[in-house]
Amino acid sequence: MRRRIASGGLALLIAAAVIGCGAAHLKTDGPRGTVRFKGEPGDAHLFIDETSLGPVAMFEESGVKLRPGTHRILLEKAGYFPEYRLVEVVDGTLTMVEIELREIP
């Protein structure tokens, strides 16, 4: 029992450190714009400003709220060429980003 609590506490500590350091653009205070993603393949991995978010399909409906300004988008999956984009986010607006990865021959 003690071991389970210790490892759970460590996981929380690591998660707090990652959110505190690398995901400042994802915090909820201040002005925001929403970016929705449509990506193929849907299980390709989405990164925003070097922060790993997960499969792109997770952000097709809800999108991601970001601070106004330019953000670096990366979509990648093994066996495909990675795709980079710069997205300009404006406060109070919805931006759609569509990315289709090309398979590596």
Q: Which CATH number does the domain housing residue 75 bear?
A: 2.60.40
Per-residue 3-state assignment (H helix, E strand, C coil) for 31-77: CCEEEEEEEECCCCEEEECCEEEEEHHHHCCCCEEECCEEEEEEEEC
Q: How many domains does the chain have?
A: 1
- What is the per-residue pLDDT for 27? 53
- Residue 8 resides in a domain: no
Q: What is the pTM of this model?
A: 0.70
pLDDT tens digits along 43-65: 999 999 999 999 999 999 999 99
Domain that holds residue 47: 25-100
pLDDT tens digits along 20-42: 434 444 555 778 999 999 999 99
Q: How far apart are CA 80 and CA 41, in angstroms?
A: 9
- Residue 37 resides in a domain: yes
- Residue 77 resides in a domain: yes
Q: How far apart are CA 27 and CA 46, in angstroms?
A: 18
Only one residue has tokens 């003690």, namely 2
- Residue 7 resides in a domain: no
Assigned token pair, 92: 């109070």
- Residue 86 resides in a domain: yes
